[in-house]
Amino acid sequence: MDDINLQPDSIAAQALGWIDEATRAITPPIHVSSTYLRDPDNGYRSGRIYARADNPAFDQAEAVIARLENGARAALFASGMAAATAVFQALAPGDHVLAPKVMYWSLRNWLMNFATQWGLNVEFIDMTDVGTVEAAIRPGKTRLVWIETPANPLWTITDIAATAAIAHRAGALVAVDSTVASPVLTRPIEHGADIVMHAATKYLNGHSDLIAGVLITREDDDFWKRVKTIRAQLGGTLGSFEAWLLLRGMRTLFLRVRAASQSAQRIAEHFARHEHVEAVLYPGLADSHGHANAARQMHGGFGGMLSIRAKGGEAAAIATAANVALWKRATSLGGTESLIEHRASIEGAGTPAPVDLLRLSVGIEDCGDLIDDLDQALRRAHR
């Protein structure tokens, strides 16, 4: 299938149509060996040396993801954090980095508390404002611009193409955390990104049963080789069974993301008019900040993530989460089950999440059931 012009849905559903040559099996085997036989002349003609650096269990999953993102190569990691931090670790001390003020909280904390200790000069800005990006970038000194869009948990939108143009003029690379959009809705490389990151735990896998991350590169260049070396030497390598689970999950990626996006749009529109909701944060709403940019770079929907701000403040938000029956009170996103979370409680001091905000990850349940459950929870919280 590599030489056939197929739609992304078909690529994902058949996982590129690869067949195990030894058995002719459609479902791939799980390769668990940690080491490989050396040739009599001391060489490795198989191309395999040690599984920490190169595991055949990764080949198909990486090839599928690279194809879906229109990238040159992909690399699996043990978690989304392992993937994201590898990009920053591939930089040099003193390099200037721009990152968004609103972004995945764990990575923001790592940048603030660890990356700076290693000598990176990290500056957090409003990445949704092109003028702010242009003013903050330092030609010849800024090495990386990190984008997250839609950005967790406010779901703000960054114009990838405009930001990439500014970064590239200054000699900087652009990396995009596209976890929430997934390649179903946005392919950042097509908009100028150099590297794409996914917390594959989320939509790519979609079943809440593994932890994984992945990077995709536009070019198989020296920077990419450094990223791959960091993965091998620091050991942030995914397990063989997890790679197999990820590949299995990706076969239904397009069905799941489209269903979740359709439901999220309906839920956002319903609760935007709700008497107990102060505001709904969702890029699919026409009056939302960034909607025009989202409509330009997101195709087929606006994702399965939204947040609501409950009237009555923090107490009402927490009470609403306590009263749901179908929604599950849990951290994470992108699974088949719908999740609700009072995000400020999780992130703690310094969070950009207002205390009245509930983050919603919409799954694939009946949308009417999800609306009814959240509606009754909001009403009970205000009795």
Residue 4 has pLDDT above 80, yes or no: no
Q: CATH: 3.40.50.800, 3.90.1150.10, 3.40.50.970, 1.25.50.10. Which one for 254-381?
A: 3.90.1150.10
Q: Is the dihedral of CA 253, 255, 258, 260 positive or negative?
A: negative
Calculate the alpha carbon distances from 110 to 114, 119, 150, 160 in Å: 5, 13, 20, 23
How do beta strands 96-100 and 142-148 pair? parallel
Q: Per-residue confidence at 2, pLDDT binned at 50, 70, 90?
A: low
Q: Which of 104, 143, 159, 309 is catalytic?
A: 104
Q: Residue 74, SS3?
A: strand
Q: Is 45 a catalytic residue?
A: no
Q: Is 52 a catalytic residue?
A: yes
Asked if the model's pLDDT at residue 1 lies above 70, the reply is no
pLDDT score for 45:
82
**CA nearest to 122, candidates 151, 149, 148, 100:** 100
Q: Output phi, psi for 165, to 5 deg.
A: -60, -45
Mean pLDDT of 49-77: 95
Catalytic choice (95, 159, 177, 373): 177
Domain ranges of the chain: 8-250, 254-381
| Per-residue confidence (pLDDT) for residue 288, from 0 to 100 | 96
Statement: residue 355 has pLDDT above 80: yes
Q: How far is the C-alpha of 19 from the C-alpha of 12, rounded, in Å?
A: 14
Average pLDDT over residues 110-122: 94
Per-residue confidence (pLDDT) for residue 226, from 0 to 100: 98
Q: Is 70 exceeded by the pLDDT of residue 357? A: yes
Q: Give me the chain's average pLDDT, please.
A: 96
Question: Given this model, what pLDDT does residue 54 score?
Answer: 83
Distances (CA, A) of 115 to 19, 65, 96, 97, 162: 42, 28, 11, 10, 26
Give yes or no: 177 in active site. Answer: yes
- Report how far apart the first and last C-alpha atoms of the chain are (Å, whole number): 58
Among 154, 245, 152, CA closest to 206: 245
In this model, does residue 362 exceed pLDDT 90? yes
**Which of 82-86, 199-203, 232-236 has the least mean pLDDT?**
232-236
Compute the average pLDDT of residues 314-319.
98
For residue 3, what pLDDT band results from cuts at 50, 70 and 90?
Answer: low
Span 8-250: which CATH code?
3.40.640.10
pTM of the model: 0.96
Confidence (pLDDT) at 270: 98
